[in-house]
Chains A and B, each alone.
Chain A
């Protein structure tokens, strides 16, 4: 009952209206736009089982799984990005920049090169391998970057970049050594072309639901952590346990995104920042909004990836990096004077 009331009041909160509306429009556009345009009217028909055969087939077999996968990936990146930023109390902690995405990618590739997942259980093992690698990455980067109780921005980025290049080169090495069939299949990791089928969605969903489910309700704990470990503990938070849970949940979430959508940078950086600028730093609102915003932002990037040089497609990671790198530099400049963080 408490959960229902909470969800209800959260969703009915006016702050959520526009983000939900935007997400809905992005979902609609993503279903409509592609090599064949499907009008909203036709969408409606297909949904209720009386659309044309081509439209039905395109929608169920291609557009819908792709849209769902992109939306879930974006949601995962937005949610885990917001969490890492709060956890490290650092505006530049993004799953991509601090190397967690690359680490997870390496884990996924190792799982794939051992046995390419023709079977369902093989497929389920990929996100698990990505998750374990992501956890290991967090641990390594955190240990490398830490000075006493704090993690200076430069250290975090340096450790992240260094580990990220290491993981990426290992990944490339594994891909070069693998058979040509696997190599083609692994192309996803660098290109960001998504594996769009329902099985992939099914394999990622349990990890994502558990991870995001924990994160969405961690707003209060993250608020406490913004005041430093001492104050958080004095106010009643079991700091080490909370941090452990948050690290595991956000790594689970990142891993589920990377395992099937490849390494997509900057969504986890940009989205929480924009939300923070518009709605303030309260993580109880920031987290759910970053999840919604992440899904919307990645859907829009994916639509652009499809239409910019149609009929050819651009990997969605290129779009997010094109928008994200300048934004990263802007945040870096801005975080020097700590104005809104």
Chain B
């Protein structure tokens, strides 16, 4: 499980995160929602250890601040926001980088590493892409490759920073189905920043609403996706209606007169 305790981040004199605390249990998906600039990405980056923070990020008694990048990479894997990948690298060369924390002294890849990479690619239905260059892939395929690379790290915790941004609807859904399966079947603790409130409602076990660097509400989708909370956070009047046949709320912006 992932335990974040009073985490604060400042860039210079500007404080981006204020004393954020949250827990993600193993087998659970916690979705971070909130308007642009609320600090979702900053929280993910701080938890993954790439920016300085005050407070604690822990798992099973380990404090990540005390661990080296290699040790940390054995506990936390991160799927970054859609980024420009070096286009000439093949999918295989990209995914095998997930084995970095387990490589030998001179960086040589063992058969076990290759087996793990193969299984990870299979898990995201991308084994057939192995020889392709990442520059030739569609956005959805690239995100699956990055997810495979994260799985390759064999970590109990998975962080995803808006993995569905810029994807077509069918790719958003298939990626989130996959992530749900990873949490519920493989028992990973998943913290995922999401843009789309309805996708968050559908796939997350719990939702944390962030506004201006703090958590305004946290709980089951029905408890957080309430019209007054969302309207205030996004400065936009909304209607929340029950899904016609699923037990999740649907958020709709209120049409202007």
Let me know if A281 and B49 touch, CB within 8 A: no
Let me know if B100 and A226 touch, CB within 8 A: no
Let me know if A221 and B107 touch, CB within 8 A: yes
How many Å lie between the Cα of A340 and that of B133 in the bound state?
10
Q: Which of B45, B68, B86, B105 has the most CB of A within 10 A?
A: B86
Which chain B residues lie closer than 8 Å to A229 at the CB level? 50
Decide if the interface of chain B is mainly helix, strand, loop or mixed.
Answer: loop
Interface residues of B in 108-132 (CB under 8 A from A): 108
Let me know if B87 and A3 touch, CB within 8 A: no
Question: Contacts A217-B107, A224-B97, A238-B69 given: A233-B49 contact, CB under 8 Å?
Answer: yes
Number of A-B contacts (CB under 8 A): 91
B103 at the interface (CB under 8 A from A): yes
Interface residues of B in 78-110 (CB under 8 A from A): 78, 80, 83, 85-90, 93-94, 97-98, 100-101, 103-108
Let me know if A234 and B83 touch, CB within 8 A: no
Interface residues of A in 317-341 (CB under 8 A from B): 338-341
A220 at the interface (CB under 8 A from B): yes
Closest residue on chain B to residue A234 by CB atoms: B78
Interface residues of A in 199-254 (CB under 8 A from B): 217-221, 223-224, 226-231, 233-239
State how many angstroms separate the Cβ of A104 from the closest Cβ of chain B: 28
Residue of B90, B97, B105 near A227 (CB, 8 A) is B97
Q: Which of B49, B68, B85, B93 has the most CB of A within 10 A?
A: B93
How many Å lie between the Cα of A218 and that of B107 in the bound state?
8
Q: Which of A234, A235, A340 has the most CB of B within 10 A?
A: A234
Let me know if A235 and B98 touch, CB within 8 A: yes
State how many angstroms separate the Cβ of A313 from the closest Cβ of chain B: 39
Let me know if B106 and A338 touch, CB within 8 A: no
Let me know if A234 and B49 touch, CB within 8 A: yes
B142 at the interface (CB under 8 A from A): no
Which chain B residues lie closer than 8 Å to A2 at the CB level? 104-106, 108
Interface residues of A in 1-31 (CB under 8 A from B): 2-3, 5-6
Q: Which of B48, B50, B70, B106 has the most CB of A within 10 A?
A: B106
B72 at the interface (CB under 8 A from A): yes
Binding site for A on B (CB under 8 A): 45, 48-50, 68-70, 72-74, 76-78, 80, 83, 85-90, 93-94, 97-98, 100-101, 103-108, 149, 153
